[in-house]
Structure 1
Amino acid sequence: MKVKSLFLALALGVCSAPAASGQQTGGSSAPPPQVSNAAANVGSSSSGSSFDGMGIKKYLLGPGDVLDLRVFNEPQFNGALVVDDEGKIEVPFVDVPILAQCRTDREIRKEITDALAKYIKRPQVSLRVSEMRSRPPATVFGAVRSPARVDMRKRTKLLEVLAVAGSVTEQASGDIQIFHTAPLMCPEPEDAVQLAAEKKSGTDALAVPYSTYKILDVRAGKEAANPYVRPGDIIVVQEAYPIYVTGAVVAPNSLYLRENLSLSRAIAQVGGARKGAKTDKGRIVRTKPGGELE
């Protein structure tokens, strides 16, 4: 998250600062700064920009999901079964609730068939998932082209979520934060590394855990930077702070402050120093917390 506000002005009395050593990444030209309200736009984004359940091969049930039960020639058993907060369902005339959480409808159908066999000879049971409510959508906003809510009915990786949001914009600072608003319901073996890498916001035990990833690592295809996104996750693509290069430069302009942006590179991106500029008169102005300049 943006920890503090940063204002940086480079005023050259007449010239460019001495060249610095080679840089890895830098800022790019940017339009005049505008107030971003991406988070507010999330609510207006259509949930149609989701995966529409495509690719769901093994849906594991959770609290809130609804199953449709049908027993051939036995209508007294027919009806909707809702998975309760404890992850269980109650079947008519079956004394003991059946555990449904983190199981598939096929596994549960077999257990219901065995339970009904006490009352019916060779019961023919049909069971299907009629409503998938246990997995809230993930939300992505910040420096992306289309803030969105992304359907989480199938296991989805960070790169897929960013693709749904139209990828990152030039305003991206280089960091992506994923806040985990709910515990992982049905963890799988490959989730162990991701769970171990979670951090807490401060020392508060009730703080929302989060993970941080580098955009460059995601683009490079590094597996560790492309984790599975959980239902209910909030993904924030951090926006870069604007800086302003003014004074005796060819084209005074605003830039985005990206990682490893140096003074010499910033000056170069606005066309360099004008002829006759005094290289020893460069000045950097920052704002302290509270708005005071230093």
Structure 2
Amino acid sequence: MRKSIPFFIIFIIALLLLSCGGKKTIQQKTPVVSAINQTTGGSSLNRASPPIQNDYILGPGDVLDIDVFQVEELKRTVRINSAGYIKFPPAGRIKISGLTLPKAEEEIGARLRHYINKPVVSIFIKEYMSQKVTILGAVKNPQVYVMDGQKYLLDIISAAGGLEKDAGDVCYIQRGRETTVINLYDLLYKGDMRLNIPVFAGDVIDVPMGGVIFVDGSVNGPGAFPVSGGITLTQAIAMAKGLKSVAEKDNIRIYRDSGKEIRDIIEVDYDEILANKIPDPHLKDKDIVVVPMNGVKDFFVKFFRTIRFFVRFGDVSTGVGY
């Protein structure tokens, strides 16, 4: 005896699957590499961060405006010579190369005390000397650059041609024995221009390459992906070509290296991220994202595929006789 599959069963199963398989669009954020290369193309970087002259180290070639309070005849413009000295009558030759502005003001003031009672000296840098700064790592043209005037971090990155695609989201500025870490993601993506700090002669800027994260499980394109520009979970899933219809979206797990034998586990609800109920977590180097499979959804998907096959080729003979 032959039996046909009732149409209402197929209809009910289809409704169940449609209720489970809805998709939401993820808005792709601007990667830090793209943002920084666009930002450094502008001409207003210096206006964004006022010069910090007190931190500047004076050197040969600098042109200074020197003023002594209430002594107009001592107001003059001088240039530091190749030996590091200036001529400042009546005090004569004064060596100020290698000093900061406050120290230079103190030095000139001490020399003038022989001629003036309690001199108050003010110095303004009119022209900066040519200086060298080194930038290394994931930039298009890493090398030693000559600065003419006060420059900032973005100026040097721009002079180096911008960041490479595999650049990380931080850079390191080595100044003597001190190292400053700058978060490029915060600087470019969040627009925190306080991080666009001034650079000085002898600084070494290192932009390391980004790390790698892994996405596995119920995604359409599992694999390893570069970490660049503060990549988030939703961006990583988009790079993995999105979630499968059988993905268990409320139990996505991030396995993070804790420096111990066992990784930390961070559980995330994907729908709550898309609904802006919780932050979109930023991924770190060597994070492993695992999207579990929903067993019930998987069953219905496979069952519906079987039903569609039967419907496509007509009635199905059960082979059961009565």
TM-score bucket of the superposed structures, by smaller chain = 0.3 to 0.5
Report which of the two has the higher share of helix: 2
TM-score, length-scaled by structure 1: 0.43
TM-score, length-scaled by structure 2: 0.40
- Structure ID, larger Rg: 2
